[in-house]
Amino acid sequence: MLAASERRLAATVRRLGGESAFVTMARAKELERQGRSIVHLEIGEPDFDTPEHIKRAAVLAMDAGWTHYVPSAGVLELREAIAAHLSRTRRISVNVENVVAGPGGKPVIWCILSALLDPGDEMLYADPAYPAYASAAGYLGANAVPVPLLESRDFRLDLDDLEAKISPRTKVLVINSPHNPTGGVLTRADLERIAELAQRHDFLVISDEIYSRNIYDAEFLSIASLPGMLERTIIVDGFSKAYAMTGWRLGYAAMPNDIADAVTLFLNNTVSCTTAFVQMAGIAALTGPDDEVARMNDEFRKRRDVLIKGLNEIPGLSCVMPQGAFYAFPNVSKVARDEKKLARFLLEEAGVAVLAGTAFGAAGKGHIRLSYANSIENLKLALERIREALPKYED
């Protein structure tokens, strides 16, 4: 049977990775159906409801007939709103022709990498990372070259190591600040050095800024705003995290025109276009009141403080204070040799769904990821369960 399926499926399928958060979430839901109580800290989605004015905009748009095909690159009014939003928040000048909207940041990333990478090209990326980058690069036959993030640098890159890994085949570097899965944020000095390297070695930078609104101790800075970088940066952002719109599927990117045209062609060939009334809701999100975003962020900060303090109080665990996103990435190497097994144990025995750090790359070894997109009450319950269960854990 395996042989038949091996014959049937394209060999390239074996090069695809995947996002284990969805697998763990499915298992956690199965346990809940069996009557178990599970605290969900596995998936990166705000537990807040989408703000009311955004939902209203979608309903009004549906009533007004936004239920048909629209242009592959996105509805012009949404692209204008995105261009204005990026220009204002990043202090750069983005034109509507630079902007492409798609059904989520993830497919947009897939289309961007498809537009850039030939077999044998190299893509540098921070390890551990959001799994979609390396999966797409591997599928395309490109070389995904990991650059480990250092816990000792609050999960920022070792820039000398980054420089040492640049080669004549380096086409693009992917950065993600604030970062999934560590919550790390690159400093201005980090970004300046990366910008200097990109210009000296002539590579592009994909700056995944999907957590730009989830930042706690610093002001967000985009590498695109540094001198000479706008023409070699592709900014990826979306609505999922900032506006609690994960299920709506709406994301976007801004990039030089030639790349935007190629990305649009990929969208044209795959999804044709992105749901029209969802795009109208996106306009409401960008142009409407922003206080809900600020309120959600304040709440995330409180949750972060409770979770990190609690984790550091559990014997054997230590956790760097994340500066952004909504993830904690504690070091569990004193209590477990195999973080995958520990994550399974915490779900099956303690009823706390978390992910192994290695689900995000080899450099996630010795860590687990907890999403604090959950109530303080549930975070406290999770901490209590972990504290109680850990002494029973054996590798």
Which parts of 183-212 interact with ligand PLP (CB under 6 A)?
208, 210
Which parts of 36-65 interact with ligand PLP (CB under 6 A)?
44
Region near ligand PLP per CB under 6 A, out of 101-109, 135-143, 154-162, 268-276: 101-109
For ligand PLP, the binding residue among 46, 51, 74, 105 (CB under 6 A) is: 105
Region near ligand PLP per CB under 6 A, out of 6-14, 99-107, 337-345, 387-395: 99-107
- Shortest Å, Cβ 8 to ligand PLP: 29
Instruction: Based on the shown chain and the rule CB under 6 A, indicate whether residue 282 belongs to the binding site for ligand PLP.
Output: no
- Shortest Å, Cβ 105 to ligand PLP: 3
Which parts of 325-344 interact with ligand PLP (CB under 6 A)?
none
- Those residues whose C-beta lies under 8 Å from the C-beta of residue 109, and which sit 6 or more positions away, are 132, 133, 136, 206, 208, 236
Region near ligand PLP per CB under 6 A, out of 5-13, 98-106, 299-307, 346-354: 98-106
Structure tokens at 115: 């537009």
Name which of 44 and 128 has its Cβ closer to ligand PLP: 44
For ligand PLP, the binding residue among 135, 222, 240, 274 (CB under 6 A) is: 240
- Given a contact cutoff of 8 angstroms between Cβ atoms, the answer to whether 223 and 234 are in contact is no
Region near ligand PLP per CB under 6 A, out of 66-74, 100-108, 158-166, 334-342: 100-108
Instruction: Based on the shown chain and the rule CB under 6 A, indicate whether residue 251 belongs to the binding site for ligand PLP.
Output: yes
Name which of 251 and 330 has its Cβ closer to ligand PLP: 251
Name which of 47 and 163 has its Cβ closer to ligand PLP: 47
For ligand PLP, the binding residue among 177, 182, 246, 275 (CB under 6 A) is: 246
Name which of 191 and 390 has its Cβ closer to ligand PLP: 191
Instruction: Based on the shown chain and the rule CB under 6 A, indicate whether residue 176 belongs to the binding site for ligand PLP.
Output: yes
How many residues form the binding site for ligand PLP (CB under 6 A)? 13
For ligand PLP, the binding residue among 46, 51, 74, 104 (CB under 6 A) is: 104
Edge-to-edge strand ranges of the sheet holding 204-208: 99-102, 251-254, 233-238, 204-208, 170-176, 122-127, 143-150, 156-157
- Given a contact cutoff of 8 angstroms between Cβ atoms, the answer to whether 372 and 310 are in contact is no
Name which of 148 and 238 has its Cβ closer to ligand PLP: 238
- Shortest Å, Cβ 124 to ligand PLP: 16
Phi and psi angles of residue 163, each rounded to the nearest 5 degrees, phi first? -60, -40
Which sign does the torsion angle of CA 343, 347, 350, 352 carry? Answer: positive
Name which of 229 and 253 has its Cβ closer to ligand PLP: 253
| CA nearest neighbour of 182 among 312, 22, 357 | 357
Instruction: Based on the shown chain and the rule CB under 6 A, indicate whether residue 323 belongs to the binding site for ligand PLP.
Output: no
- Shortest Å, Cβ 138 to ligand PLP: 17
HSE (CB half, 13 Å, CA atoms) of 278? 22
By CB under 6 A, name the binding residues for ligand PLP. 44, 104-106, 130, 176, 180, 208, 210, 238, 240, 246, 251
